[in-house]
Chain A
Amino acid sequence: MNFFKYILIILFFFFSSISISSEKNINLELKIFKNLRCLICQGQSIYDSQSDFAESMKLVVRQKLELGMSENEIYSFLEDQYGEWILYDPKFNNKTYFLWILPFLMFLFGALLILRKLGVFKK
């Protein structure tokens, strides 16, 4: 099992060189555009939409970024104006517990069924 030990050691060095939260924000602006839903063409993000509203919204986001507002500050500003609907990324709050958790429950439930089929619960 020496071999695995080496692998583990190398793996360790590997991951220590990777910063976990190094989401690079070169294109923060585009990321924000893609996460805002257009109120005029309601099926699209303002990134995909060319409506007047979307164009103005892009300018507003750009302006706020230049003023040094963070991504979340921009979201909460717009959410105050237009409601949570405008954000494509639903927040984790009492409205969305089910949304976020239900898929995981399904996954766990599936695991149980599979373990049963593999005979794990049989004595």
Chain B
Amino acid sequence: MILNYIGSYSLLFSLLISAIIFLISIFSIQNKKESIRNLNKLFFFQFFLVLISFLSLIILFVISEFSNTTVFNNSHTNKPLLYKISGTWGNHEGSLILWLMILTFFVFIYFLKSNTRPIRERLFTIVFQEIIIIGFSIFLLKTSNPFNQVIPTPDQGLGLNPILQDPILAIHPPVLYLGYVSTSLIFSSALASLICLNVNREWASFIKNWIFVSWIFLTLGILLGSIWAYYELGWGGFWFWDPVENISLMPWLCLTALLHCTLVLEKRSSLGSWTIILSIVSFTLSVCGTFLVRSGILNSVHTFANDPDRGVYILIFLFFLIFSSLIIYFLYQDKIISNKDHFNFLSKESSILINNWFVMYFLSVVLIGTIYPIFLEVLSNEKISVGPPFFNKLIIPFLIPFLIFMAIGPNLKWIKAKKFKIPIRLSILLFINLVIAFLVLKIFDEVTLKLTLLLTASFYLFFITFKDLIKKEYKNISQTISHFGFSLLILSIILNSFLSKEIITNLKVGDEINFQENIIKFKKIESSFSSNYQSLIGYFEINNKHLFTPEVRIYDQPEVITSEADIKTNLFKDRFLVINLVKDNDYLNVRYQEKPLMIWIWLSTILITIGGSLSFIKKYEK
């Protein structure tokens, strides 16, 4: 098939162009030739060629051309068109092309949008960026070429894992990758500004945009993943502390810290080296995530077919990046011109430092919890699991002071809060919130010390950010909205986690069961056929008015059974009903859950990203 050749040759040519750009940039840096205008065509071609190869792969998937290995392994003629297309990036090879495409796209955009930066710095950024692009291109071509051919051409493909055949999961990877990949530009630009001695206010306000881009997409990507896990994978849970989830959380945490600390660099010319370190770490964590997921070194629900060669390659590439950035950092770190003033304790910059301190702690918990089992196994041959209880135990107690600091911090002034009469007012408010939290917990009879304090802190943050939101004299609307969204998120998660109720039982058709003022009636069961699966639909009635129709799907290619939950959402709670087959029995395993405020978890996360996006709009208004 001709598209196989087009795809694979355009990848090769794009690699060639990357090499050319790389050499031109090096040459221009050495000769101090300050003209780089002609590069934009090359950037465009670099992107365009990867795009062509990506499109060829999509077309191969759409026409079900099974002479292509990737298509053969991951597609099937019976699959709906949407999932034929999304199947392109639902596998290792295809997702890497997508990754590379975004990488070349962003460097193109960077080139267009960075006219304000000194040329030398742009050239260095391009050099680092091209190293990354070349690294991933070679990885793609060498270990995971998506255009390998199967001879002779099989009649039928092996199919896509049905749990991946889902509209949200179709867009989840591209969004997430936009987030991951844009951290590479933060990385390159940070190193370039370090070398060119440009770590200053102007650079901070320039790089802030990229940090926002990265952070917004990553937030959305994680959100989509959680929503998918909620209704498809999990039995009502949305975050499992699974290694692959942790991997997306780590760069997010790092970017959150970075977002705040660039503000200090921008406003106070301080924390320059720390900003650089965080920029380097964000991208390193993204690549580290790629390594952990693709090498199959971790044991997770989300796995790609793995191949040790790939692991070795990315590992070497990862450590090449780590070592070179380490050396560059130490070579130039002394030359960062930074405001050496000490911070006043009651100032905005101190509160940002405290934010960074806590976020870095959370990051270290997640990182250590995720990779510790690997280290332990290599060193002592013992295998242990580190799961949700570990993360909850280490994170929740620290969340309490974090939320309180977060409530107070943004109301402080830069340099020094002049008159600080607020403590009394703030403590009264804190006290009132303690009473409210206690009463709320008392009503539901859930009073424990940990929960009371946690709820107090989150109510506190909620009221303070809410007050800021309605005050209407926005100094920084983007921050106000994001912080309000975050407080809402935390509050919903906490209330959701202790107010959720569930029942697991076995029911036959005609059975009825009482569950806390609810009567669950199993009315009938029907089966139906779709193009690529057969489904059993249970009809349940709750309190004689809500009809639930959860499904069990038996896919034929590959043969997998999935459960499709039926979820009824309103503003106060989700009702979640899922059924499962029990081998050799005529009853079904039924799980019914009531999950309060579920929708607010999603809405508040969207609010957070809206807040982030507003920072761009504000800029254009100026």
Judge A-B direct contact (beta carbons within 8 Å). Answer: yes
A interface list, Cβ under 8 A from B: 3-4, 7, 10-11, 14-15, 18-20, 22-24, 30, 34-35, 37, 41-45, 47-48, 50, 52, 55, 83-90, 95-96, 98-100, 102-103, 106-107, 110-111, 113-114, 117-119, 122
B446 within 8 A of A: yes
Cβ contact within 8 Å between A110 and B384: no
CB distance from A56 to the nearest CB of B (A): 11
8 contacts between A and B (CB under 8 A): A11-B431, A30-B502, A43-B300, A84-B382, A117-B342, A118-B343, A118-B350, A119-B342
Please determine whether A37 and B431 come into contact, CB atoms closer than 8 angstroms: no
Which residues of A lie under 8 Å from residue B389 when comparing CB positions?
A: 35, 88-89
Chain B residue at minimal CB-CB distance from A84: B384
Asked if B364 contacts A106 (CB within 8 A), the reply is: yes
B235, CB-defined interface residue at 8 Å: yes
- In angstroms, Cα B585 to Cα A52, docked, is 13
Q: Please, how many angstroms separate the alpha-carbon atoms of A85 and B364 in the complex?
A: 22
Closest Cβ of chain B to A55, distance in Å, is 8
**B154 part of interface (Cβ distance < 8 Å):** no
Asked whether A43 lies within 8 Å of B394 as measured between CB atoms, the reply is: no
B383 touches A85 (CB 8 A): yes
Give the residue of A14, A35, A86 whose beta carbon is less than 8 angstroms from that of B438.
A14
Q: Is the CB of A44 within 8 A of B361?
A: no
**Total interface residues in chain B, CB < 8 Å:** 57
> What 5 pairs across the A-B complex have the smallest Cβ distances?
A88-B387, A119-B342, A43-B301, A89-B389, A106-B364
- Of the listed residues B235, B384, B390, B398, the one surrounded by the most CB atoms of chain A closer than 10 A to its CB is B384
C-alpha spacing A93/B447, complex, angstroms: 31
How many residue pairs bridge A and B at CB < 8 Å? Answer: 127
Residues 239-267 (chain B) with a chain A CB within 8 angstroms: 240, 242-243
The yes or no answer to B378 lying at the interface (CB within 8 A) is no
Q: Is B505 an interface residue (CB 8 A)?
A: no
A110 touches B360 (CB 8 A): yes
Taken together as a complex, chains A and B put the C-alpha atoms of A43 and B582 apart, in Å, by: 21
Task: Given A110-B360, A111-B357, A114-B353, verify A23-B448 contact (CB < 8 Å).
Answer: yes
**Cα(A30)–Cα(B591), bound, Å:** 12
Are the CB atoms of B368 and A102 closer together than 8 Å?
Answer: yes
Contacts of B447 in A (CB 8 A): 18, 22
When distances are taken between beta carbons in the complex, the residues of chain B under 8 Å from A30 are 502
In the complex, what distance in Å separates the CA atom of A113 from the CA atom of B357? 9
Q: Mark B370-410, 1 if CB is under 8 A from A, else 0.
A: 00100010001011111111100110001000000000000
- Distance of A21 from chain B, by nearest CB (Å): 8
Contacts A14-B434, A37-B385; A99 near B449 (Cβ below 8 A): no
- Tell whether B237 is near chain A: CB-to-CB under 8 Å: yes
Chain B positions within 8 Å of A122 at CB level = 342
| Contact partners of B344 in chain A: CB under 8 A | 118
Q: By the criterion CB–CB under 8 Å, are B449 and A85 in contact?
A: no
